[in-house]
């Protein structure tokens, strides 16, 4: 029903050609789980989150990032192959699965919801059977505001998983980590609702906006001082 509503809405607003492209993209996303045997597409409302964290009031519902636009963005960015990719609020791990095939040294998901972590680990196991040579995937059950960022983690991704309160704390933690271990940083923000919060952090003043198949990404850069 949700898919039919989206198609009818698109027909009204965008016309036939754009709707066909959009429908193809949505169908590709729905077949992602069928192709890999995973469970990433089904949304989960915040009320159903299994967590005792006080940060639950700041969370957004789980919704999977769209695979095709994200892959196209990765092709454009040409991120460092020896980098460590971190998904902040990684949910069921779809982005981790996609990133694990891109040659990164390690892929890390940080998620405070216990059932989403369990599903992400199951998905990673299934994906590993299909692609044995993928980068190691680590799913960490943690409040992201308490996570101690490691000195080699340099590519951060988020799909609007929390509000401005949590985002501000996370950015401060990343900034402190960079001060301790200077390095170039990429911050990829899909659906950048709280863009101004990021820009208010001096470390991430520079950014480029990408509109890929209707998905909006802001990519912020921090260059280590030489």
The per-residue DSSP string of 94-124 comes to HHHHHHHTTT-SEEEEEE--HHHHHHHHHHH
Which H/E stretch holds residue 218?
A: strand 215-222
Residue 143 CB neighbours (<10 A)? 17
Q: Is 74 in the same domain as 174?
A: yes
Examine residue 49 and state whether it is found in any structural domain, yes or no. no
Angle between helices 16-36 and 114-130 (to 10 degrees): 80
Q: Is 129 in the same domain as 20?
A: no
Range of the domain at 58: 54-222
Examine residue 48 and state whether it is found in any structural domain, yes or no. no
The rounded distance, in Å, linking the Cα atoms of 3 and 50 is: 27
Integer Rg of the chain from CA: 17
Question: Which CATH number covers residue 196?
Answer: 3.40.50.150
Beta strand pairing call for 153-158 and 84-88: parallel
3-state secondary structure of 109: strand
pLDDT of residue 19: 57
Domain count, the chain: 2
The rounded distance, in Å, linking the Cα atoms of 195 and 182 is: 24
The rounded distance, in Å, linking the Cα atoms of 113 and 132 is: 27
Q: Is 64 in the same domain as 122?
A: yes
Q: Is 192 in the same domain as 118?
A: yes
- The answer to whether the pTM exceeds 0.95 is no
Q: What is the pLDDT along the chain (226 residues), one digit of tens a residue?
A: 455 555 566 556 666 566 566 666 677 777 889 889 999 999 999 998 988 777 788 889 999 999 989 999 999 998 998 899 999 999 999 999 999 999 999 999 999 999 999 999 999 999 999 999 899 999 999 999 999 999 999 999 999 999 999 999 999 999 999 999 999 999 999 999 999 999 999 889 889 999 998 899 999 999 887 6
184 phi and psi, to 5 degrees? -70, 140
The rounded distance, in Å, linking the Cα atoms of 199 and 189 is: 12
Residues 39, 47, 160, 182, Cα dihedral to 10°:
-90
């Amino acid at each position: 029903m949700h898919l039919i509503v989206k198609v009818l809405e698109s027909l009204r607003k965008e016309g036939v050609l754009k709707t066909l492209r959009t429908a193809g993209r949505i169908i590709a996303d729905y077949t992602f789980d069928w192709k890999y045997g995973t469970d990433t597409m089904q949304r989960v409302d915040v009320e159903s989150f299994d967590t005792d964290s006080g940060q639950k009031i700041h969370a957004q519902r789980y919704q999977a990032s769209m695979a095709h636009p994200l892959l196209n963005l990765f092709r454009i960015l040409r991120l460092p192959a020896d980098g460590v990719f971190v998904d902040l609020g990684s949910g069921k791990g779809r982005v981790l699965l996609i990133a694990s095939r891109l040659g990164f040294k390690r892929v890390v998901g940080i998620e405070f919801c216990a059932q989403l972590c369990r599903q992400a680990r199951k998905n990673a196991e299934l994906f590993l059977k299909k692609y044995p040579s993928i980068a190691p995937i680590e799913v960490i059950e943690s409040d992201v505001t308490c996570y101690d960022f490691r000195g080699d983690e340099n590519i951060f991704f988020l799909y609007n998983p929390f509000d401005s309160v949590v985002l501000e704390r996370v950015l401060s933690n990343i900034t402190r980590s960079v001060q301790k271990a200077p390095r170039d940083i990429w911050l990829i923000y899909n659906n950048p609702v709280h863009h101004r919060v990021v820009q208010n952090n001096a470390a991430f003043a520079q950014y480029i906006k990408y509109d890929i198949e209707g998905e909006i990404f802001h990519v912020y850069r921090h260059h280590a001082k030489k």
